[in-house]
Amino acid sequence: MDSIPYKALTPETVATRLGDIAAVRAHAGPPESWKVVEVGDGNLNLVFIVTGAQGQVIVKQALPYVRLVGESWPLPLNRSFFEYHALIRQAARAPGSVPEVYHHDEAQALVVMEFLADHVILRQSLMAGTRHPGLGAFLGRFCAQTLFRGSDLGMDTAERKRDLALFAGNIELCDITENLVFTDPYFAAEMNRHTPALDPVVASLRADRDLKVAAQHLKAAFANNAEALLHGDLHTGSVMVSGDRARVIDPEFATYGPMGFDVGMLIANFLMAALALPGHLDDRAERDSYRDWVLQTATEMWEHFSAEFTRLWRTERRGILYAASLFEDQGDGLGAEQARLDRLAAIWRDALGFCGVEMHRRILGLAHIAEYDQIEDEALRATCEARGLVLGRALVIGRGSIRDMAEVTELARHIMERDYL
């Protein structure tokens, strides 16, 4: 397919167009046996499940526009190239945490990858009240391993500069994040939407000078601080789960940015899942118990991130920064520990800020989340969303003084008991 110009696949054309690719046949069997369905429910791409005599594969193909909006919003196909490069780096840095890639076709903007049998999108699971043992640990380790090993702490200067240049090409997807996450929620941008009953809270947020300034400081950090290769869109729709197994998918927004971005986005999506539970679980006792599990999972995510980051700092710090020749080699292990704590504190502070703006944009911007959108009772939805807006603001503004996840979850529990409309 490399030689022909890009053409979007359909279920009917997948077998003809991919049937000769050995890597695909090896996993799905002969194309005559394939059954193909398109299952993409994300904002951007086509996703096909190919079921053949020998097994199943996923074919993900970029469309030349934003699927959520339509052809009026063109989007470059090269996001598939960045997704492929991010996936192979994540597989090397956090083995077993992402689907295996079988084939990439740059011209056709597609990646053929492992089908994750029995897995569902975590966001769906969080609405259904399903527990996944070890999820926080998995996500914390994934973040620490991909972010540490994809940064100046783990990479030498040549590898790092080359990679930074490569991912600098993911321009339009960065532009989406810069606008949709950090700017649009804070004014009446054209594509924004929100539940009408939120109007008074929205007006007060948009008139909140400190919040707007803070959101722009966070945008500056996202745009200027190329600290590590990020997943770039690490919400609970980018995680698939089955019992105690999990994988991270969809890194097409990959870019170099601040480590706290991935971590903060994950925390935000767990907090919103907890805040939206009154719309999904009717039984009070069941809901409270599940809320505790969700908040505990977010807490464990941060704790495992922090512990794994610490382990990597002590055992794999062979990159450009904080050279052992300045610290351990001089008998100054304490200096290295001081530097580590400073770096973790900076990541934590950033993460809280990114967490807050992610909560705002999922309620006020273009791209909402199912946990809120699927609450049919509009008054209840507005009540849950208003709590999200209030918590988001508290995290952005309080990011310099909130010390740990215990304080975050305490704040969340306090806000959950109140009505802001």
Would you tell me which residues interact with ligand SR1 (CB under 6 A)? 42-44, 66, 68, 176-177, 180, 233, 366-367
176 binds, among ligand SR1, Mg ion, none (CB under 5 to 8 A by kind): ligand SR1
68 binds, among ligand SR1, Mg ion, none (CB under 5 to 8 A by kind): ligand SR1
Q: How far is the CB of 253 from Mg ion (least distance, A)?
A: 7
Q: How far is the CB of 249 from Mg ion (least distance, A)?
A: 8
Nearer to ligand SR1, 66 or 402 (CB): 66
Nearer to Mg ion, 42 or 392 (CB): 42
Nearer to Mg ion, 253 or 372 (CB): 253
Nearer to Mg ion, 250 or 385 (CB): 250
- Strands 35-38 and 120-121 turn out to be unpaired
- Strands 120-121 and 239-242 turn out to be antiparallel
Q: How far is the CB of 406 from ligand SR1 (least distance, A)?
A: 28
Q: How far is the CB of 312 from ligand SR1 (least distance, A)?
A: 27
Q: How far is the CB of 338 from ligand SR1 (least distance, A)?
A: 36
Count, residues in the chain:
421
Report which secondary-structure segment, H or E, holds 86. Answer: helix 79-93
Identify whether the C-beta of residue 248 lies closer than 8 Å to the C-beta of residue 238: yes
Nearer to Mg ion, 202 or 234 (CB): 234
The single residue listed with the structure tokens 């000769």 is: 20
Nearer to Mg ion, 9 or 254 (CB): 254
Q: Alpha-carbon distance 213 to 205, whole Å? A: 12
180 binds, among Mg ion, ligand SR1, none (CB under 5 to 8 A by kind): ligand SR1
Q: How far is the CB of 211 from ligand SR1 (least distance, A)?
A: 20
Q: Alpha-carbon distance 254 to 40, whole Å? A: 20
Query: Cα dihedral angle (318, 320, 322, 326), rounded to 10 degrees?
Result: 80
Start-to-end CA span in the chain (Å): 55
- What are the Cα distances from residue 302, in Å, to 131, 245, 268, 321? 18, 19, 12, 23
Nearer to ligand SR1, 87 or 405 (CB): 87
Residue 297's nearest CA partner among 211, 382, 239 is 239
Q: How far is the CB of 251 from Mg ion (least distance, A)?
A: 8
Nearer to ligand SR1, 4 or 188 (CB): 188
Q: How far is the CB of 177 from ligand SR1 (least distance, A)?
A: 6
* Amino acid residing at 385: E
Nearer to ligand SR1, 9 or 66 (CB): 66
The count of C-alpha atoms lying within 13 angstroms of the C-alpha of 335, restricted to the half-sphere facing its C-beta, is: 11
Report DSSP letters for 332-368, one per residue. Answer: -HHHHHHHHHHHHHHHHHHHHHHHHHHHHHHHHSS--
Identify whether the C-beta of residue 154 lies closer than 8 Å to the C-beta of residue 318: yes
Identify whether the C-beta of residue 29 lies closer than 8 Å to the C-beta of residue 56: no
122 binds, among ligand SR1, Mg ion, none (CB under 5 to 8 A by kind): none
Phi, psi (degrees; rounded to nearest 5) at 278: -55, -20
Identify whether the C-beta of residue 386 lies closer than 8 Å to the C-beta of residue 359: no
Q: Alpha-carbon distance 314 to 337, whole Å? A: 9
Identify whether the C-beta of residue 214 lies closer than 8 Å to the C-beta of residue 202: no
Q: How far is the CB of 238 from Mg ion (least distance, A)?
A: 6
Site of interaction with Mg ion (CB under 5 A):
42, 250
Helix 405-416, helix 378-397: angle, nearest 10: 150
